[in-house]
Amino acid sequence: MVKGRGKKVATYKPKPQDMGHLPVNFPPFLFEVFLYAPIDDGNSKAKIGNDMILFTLYKKEPLMWETLSMPGVDKETMQRIREKSILQAQEKAKEATEAKATAKREDQRYTLGVMMKIEEEERKKIEDMKENERKKATRELEAWKESQRQAEKQKSIPRKEKCQRGKQAEERGVPKPPSLPRKAPSAARLPQRGRNWENIFSEKLKEDSVPAPRPAGNIQISFTPRAFPTALRESQVAEEEEWLHKQAEARRALSTDLPEFSDLKEEEKNPDWLKEKGNKLFATENYLAAVDAYNLAIRLNSKIPLLYLNRAACHLKLRNLHKAIEDSSKALELLTPPVSDNANARMKAHVRRGTAFCQLELYVEGLQDYEAALKIDPSNTVVQNDAEKIRNIIQGTALKSRD
């Protein structure tokens, strides 16, 4: 259908160069119509489906057409109209590309401005911290100098008091101590410069006033026994006891009396022995056999979280990503309550589940697990670097979607 804009219409006699061109390419089909007059390409639409094509065309000018298509168009005119349509399409594509490039440059300029602003704020913050440290060091230095001056003043006060006491004693008639016999001074016995007999006498009094050392003794110290290395003020005693109780119950819950386990050797009925066997097989890269060992151990005792955690590592190597996510989640479910004794296992479970999510290209979920692992061990540089790589991937995906 062809729609005209406006109520008033007039007849129109088209020229060959003013005809409209409607090409549709739907491989392996090519449909082309030379219309009576030009149409509005921006508003006109075409919908293909159900073995039919529906055109909604708008006239470029509100004129009455005698026919829909122009009959009797020669090949030369058709070629000229095709070339004109191609040039117009190329111009539109070029304009769209330039508009997209302009928008991308604006986004990059805006992003760069924001990053420069953040860096400027960080630099200013660092400079403020340096300035505060410098002021603090200056204040401490001034305080130290003031304490030194006060100490010098305190030393000079006793000398003045002694001189005053000596003068007061003379005034009261107290006899002076007998003077020592004068001898010819020798180089070895000459007093140091600025030192007099009064100072020697005062130093002697100070030595006499020093109390004798105290007698030796022993102090007995007893420490409270602790099952975990955490300090008592930082510990969660109830959670730790609950964790130990759960582990003890898991060790006791061995169902080796069932008929399906009757043909197993005695050591093969021990989940710990099977776990060590699986670890050795994993070290030799025999991941399928390791999975079998962990499977049997889990059938014997399904309450040991390390079995699920190790089996998740095997599934990661075998690219069984959904199974790795399930085992890591099960391990985290059993690693409760969160205490210091199972912190390392919880961190590994988060990392392995996050790795499986990232290999499934679910980067947001993977980043959440890596951040949970960093909360348990913030100083782990390997996990920090992996989390930063995931953030860069997420940011790059967001930028591509915006483009």
What integer pLDDT is reported at residue 183 of this predicted model? 47
Structure tokens at 382: 């390997």
pTM above 0.85, yes or no: no
Q: Where are the beta strands (DSSP E) in 135-228?
A: none
CA dist 355 and 361 (Å) reads 10
CATH class of 265-402: mainly alpha
Q: Which residues of the chain have pLDDT under 50?
A: 1-12, 179-181, 183-195, 197, 256-259, 261-262
Instruction: Give the per-residue pLDDT at 80.
Output: 78
Q: Quick one: pLDDT at residue 11?
A: 43
Cβ neighbours of residue 393 closer than 8 Å, sequence gap 6 or more: 363
User: 59 near 35, Cβ under 8 Å?
Assistant: no
Q: What integer pLDDT is reported at residue 358 of this predicted model?
A: 93
pLDDT at 312: 94
User: Going by DSSP bridges, is the β-strand pair 52-58/45-49 parallel, antiparallel, or unpaired?
Assistant: antiparallel
Name the residue among 373, 375, 369, 367 with its Cα closest to residue 391. 367
Please give the structure tokens belonging to residue 265: 């050797």
Which long-range contacts (C-beta less than 8 Å, at least 24 apart) are formed by 49-52?
A: none
Which token pair is 257?
């009396």
Non-local CB neighbours of 40 within 8 Å, separated by 6+ positions: 57, 58, 59, 60
Tokens 């007061």 label which residue?
A: 168
CB count in 10 Å sphere of residue 339: 21
pLDDT digits (tens, 9 = 90+) for 267-295: 666 788 888 989 999 999 999 989 988 98
DSSP string across 146-168: HHHHHHHHHHHHHHHHHHHHHHH
The number of CA neighbours under 13 Å toward the Cβ of 184 is: 0
Q: Hey, where are the domains in the chain?
A: 2-73, 94-169, 265-402
What b/e string do you get for 30-54 counting C-beta neighbours within 10 Å, with b at 16 or more?
eeeebbbbebebeebeeeeeeeeee
Three-state DSSP state, 134: helix
196-201 — which CB contacts under 8 Å span 24+ positions? Answer: 198/162
pLDDT at 9: 41
